[in-house]
Amino acid sequence: MGRPAKFSQDQILDTALAIIAEDGPGAARMDAIAARLGAPTGSLYHRFASRDLLLATLWVRVVSGFQHGFAAALAADDALAAALHTPRWCREHPAEATVLLLHRRQDLTARWPDELGADLGTLTAQLSDALASFTARHPGLDRERLLFAVIDVPYGAVRRHLLERRSPPPVVDELIAATCRAVLPPPVHAG
Check the CA dihedral 152-155-157-159 and report its sign: negative
Name residue 175's amino acid.
Answer: L
pLDDT of residue 187: 66
Q: Look at residue 185 and tell me whether its pLDDT is greater than 90.
A: no
pLDDT, tens digit, 9 for 90 and up, residues 69-121: 999 999 999 999 999 999 999 999 998 998 877 666 555 555 666 777 778 78
Q: What is the pLDDT of the chain when averaged over all its residues?
A: 88
**What's the pLDDT score for residue 188?**
61
User: What are the tens digits of pLDDT across the range 115-144?
Assistant: 777 787 888 899 999 999 999 999 989 999
Element (H, E) at 98: helix 94-100
Name residues whose C-beta falls within 8 Å of residue 149's C-beta, 6 or more positions apart in sequence.
79, 83, 179, 180, 183, 184, 189
